A and B are shown apart, each in its own frame.
Chain A
Amino acid sequence: MTDPTPRDHLVSALVRDEPRVLTRITSLFGRRGYNIKSLSVGSTEHPGVSRMTFVVTGDRGVVEQAMRQLEKLHDVINIIDHSLEKYVDRELVLVKVAITPESRVEVRQIAEDFRARIVDVGRHALTFEVTGDEGKITAFIEQMRPFGILETMRTGRVALTRGSNADIPTHVYHAGETQALKPAVEGVEPREERARGVPNLF
């Protein structure tokens, strides 16, 4: 049964690395009124293939519809809904916290507990770099809030499924041609393209 409560969904898309791909995807989201809460894009181990990770907020139905619309785009090679499997995810944030001579030690102590690194030291502020899952980052920000957060910048989440299989199918279309992709690690077979389509839920 579909879950009607809106929540965050973590989705990755493998896309052909070509001009306008990002526009195509964001305009599709925009036109249909799906809000992207976070988005990270980067290249993969395969030339010509990029990976995007989105956080989309909505009920299960909204997110499924968004994914099916995405799958129709010719630039999209594969979509991975991370909620269907175990995954690791990370986000990096930079947090600039106000300090006073009195609070300085305490702020540093909290940062140490979170394994946050200091990346910039000012007379009235410290800037921390924190990586982790969403929970850890939120907790860190909450701990720092009473001291005065001057600025934050989050990269958006990135995610990979756990285990040794790879999400990139063995063949992708690129610039008018089918390219066979070599597995990144010999002996580990890229998994077959996930059966695209509607799960026949009764």
Chain B
Amino acid sequence: MTQGEMTGAKALWATLVGHGIHTVFGYPGGAIMPVYDALTFYPEVRHILTRHEQGAVHAAEGWAKATGEIGVCLATSGPGATNLVTGLADAMMDSVPILAITGNVARHLMGTDAFQEADITGITLPITKHNYVVREVEELPRILAEAIRIARSGRPGPVLVDIPKDIQLAPYSGDIPVPHARPEAPAPAPEAIERARELLRNANKPVIIVGGGSLDAAAEITALARAWQIPVITTLMGLGAFPASDPLWLGMPGMHGSVAANRAISEADVLLGIGLRFDDRVTGRVSGFAPNAAIIHVELDAAEIGKIVRTHVPVRGDAAAAARLLSEGAQRRDRPEWHAQLARWQARTQKPDRWGAAYAVQAVTERLRPDDILASDVGQHQMLAAQLARFERPRRWLNSGGLGTMGFGFPAAIGAALAEPGVRSVVIAGDGGFQMTAQELATLKKYDIRNVKICIINNAYLGMVRQWQELFHERRYSEVWLGDSNPDFLKLADAYGVPGYRADSAEHLPGAIDAWLADPKSALLEVVVPHEHGVFPMVPAGAALSEMIEQEPARSIPGNERNPTAEEAKGA
């Protein structure tokens, strides 16, 4: 290929560059080699080679979650493409705009079970917002432009474009499309807004609950809550959409939500939900969710309105526009009894004072600056981080909410760190989940990325599963012990040239955190914590929010004699 000839592969890069896309995450292979070859003609594109396609797609997600812009990842056909599946499902559940580009075998081989062929569009049909197989080279640039538009518009999501190898090589003589204008979100219906205002005006115990769909409406929602003096609950995905320092903030609702948030929902007479989908981890048993409340639901995706909870006032439209309209008619009303009640509940929040995972997560998150990004993996440490971190602004909290994908946190933090090189990108991970994508330490090394700070909370268990076994399976700890086979995490980091620090007590923690954060390079901190701590409060699965267990129960269940407990297993 010479500089002059335009091919499908070159048209791909030209289209991405034309859309302002300059960073992509990927992994090459036979069926996408023409695209990688064409990359050498586009020095303005930075390609980040991860060590696994799952790392690439999560990094693209981290990029997208931190910036609000589309994240792009590339993979070859067959095994490369199927390695994207988890990340695409994750992006679908959390409404993350992702463009995934996969190579495929040449058209004449498609459907013949050729080497490294997989029907990736068939496989990803239910976990992408839309997907394409490009069938003619003339269509490739236009399909890419359309895919980018679909991924970003309305409720964002992942879009996959599968490109047969012969199309990547074919000469292309058409135009390079310019970006589509982002379609306007529908304006909320005035009658719906008026009806919502009326409910808020007459409410005695109102609460606002905001989800991941409201991150770009944080300013408007903050103004709305303050104008009406209505307390705000932020879901796991909505953390940061309302400043944690505001006295109106009640914390997170749901399975590991705060006492104040869950009690407020159970007592509320009007509940204004903005940009959320009433996930079962938020609602608990649906029939017991906000039993006394008239529900106003502001949501862009019409299919979410009325899907889970009955809705009294559906407001379909853009969260920012709706919040602005609702603020306009604000009538500040004093509700001293409601606020006094909320304050009593807020006072029940316990600060972790006993050494353990919660103590460690608290100590780390206390040190975060408002601009710092906090990425979390999945498990107990995730719920602790969500409970304890104090976010002042949106898009600083990256976590896998909808799918709960272990292995997400670290590569997502790398994506965010590359998007915002001036910002500290802190990861909290468990010893289990970190090992699902630990190989991305190589990515830190390869690109000399200096702003990723990894904190592993090492309880030597798949902690969250162990907690469920403790509470609901009479402490029969089945296949959750990692302590016998975990690596030496500091040596692992060292093998990739990443400095490591360790703390195993409350006394050693502050010094270790200081040294870890002060290190000029990306660094890893391992905090060794007691094995069997749980995350509380907790609403047992299937229970109503009002049935929350507030504190870790005293250990009353004796160890099962036939199954060795972990301590015994360790000794063996």
Which residues of A pack against B, CB within 8 Å? 19-20, 23-24, 27-28, 31, 61, 64-65, 68-69, 71-75, 173, 175-177, 196-198, 200-202
Contact = CB atoms under 8 A, between A and B. Distances in A.
Nearest to A68: B303
Given A176-B145, A198-B305, A27 B126 contact: yes
B307 interface: yes
Contacts of A200: 189, 191-192, 195, 313-316
A176 B161 CA distance: 12
A202 B193 CA distance: 12
A69 B316 contact: no
Contact of B302 (A74, A175, A198): A198
Contacts of A201: 314
A202 B307 CA distance: 17
B121 A20 contact: yes
Contacts of B436: none
A65 B191 contact: no
Contact of A176 (B125, B139, B313): B139
Nearest to B131: A20
B125 A202 contact: no
Nearest to A31: B126
Given A176-B143, A198-B316, A202-B195, A74 B303 contact: no
Most chain A Cβ neighbours within 10 Å, of B121, B146, B150, B186: B146
B306 interface: yes
Contacts of B449: none
Interface string B314-325: 111000000000
Interface string B112-142: 0000000001100110011001000001001
B139 A23 contact: no
A75 B315 CA distance: 25
Contacts of B192: 200
A200 B129 CA distance: 26
Nearest to B191: A200
Nearest to B189: A200
Contact of B307 (A27, A28, A65, A71): A65
A16 to B, nearest CB: 11
Interface of B: 121-122, 125-126, 129-130, 133, 139, 142-143, 145-146, 150, 186, 189, 191-192, 195, 301-303, 305-307, 312-316
Given A200-B189, A200-B191, 5 more contacts: A20-B122, A65-B306, A176-B146, A198-B305, A200-B192
A31 B195 CA distance: 35
Nearest to A72: B303
30 contacts: A19-B133, A20-B121, A20-B125, A23-B122, A23-B125, A27-B125, A31-B126, A61-B306, A69-B303, A71-B303, A72-B301, A72-B303, A73-B130, A74-B129, A74-B130, A75-B130, A173-B146, A175-B139, A175-B143, A176-B139, A176-B142, A176-B145, A196-B302, A197-B186, A197-B302, A198-B305, A200-B189, A200-B315, A200-B316, A202-B312
A68 B307 CA distance: 10
A120 B82 CA distance: 52
Given A23-B125, A72-B301, A176-B139, A202 B313 contact: yes
Contacts of B303: 65, 68-69, 71-72
A24 B131 CA distance: 10
A28 B129 CA distance: 12
A197 B125 contact: no
Contacts of B313: 200, 202
Contacts of A202: 191, 195, 312-313
Most chain B Cβ neighbours within 10 Å, of A28, A196, A202: A202
A177 B301 contact: no
B265 to A, nearest CB: 23
Most chain A Cβ neighbours within 10 Å, of B125, B303, B306: B303
A202 to B, nearest CB: 6
A169 B315 CA distance: 25
Nearest to B190: A200
B316 to A, nearest CB: 5
A34 to B, nearest CB: 13
Given A20-B121, A200-B314, A68 B302 contact: yes
Contacts of A75: 130
Contacts of A31: 126
A101 to B, nearest CB: 54
Contacts of A173: 146
A19 B111 CA distance: 14
A72 B307 CA distance: 14
Contacts of B307: 65
Contacts of B139: 175-176
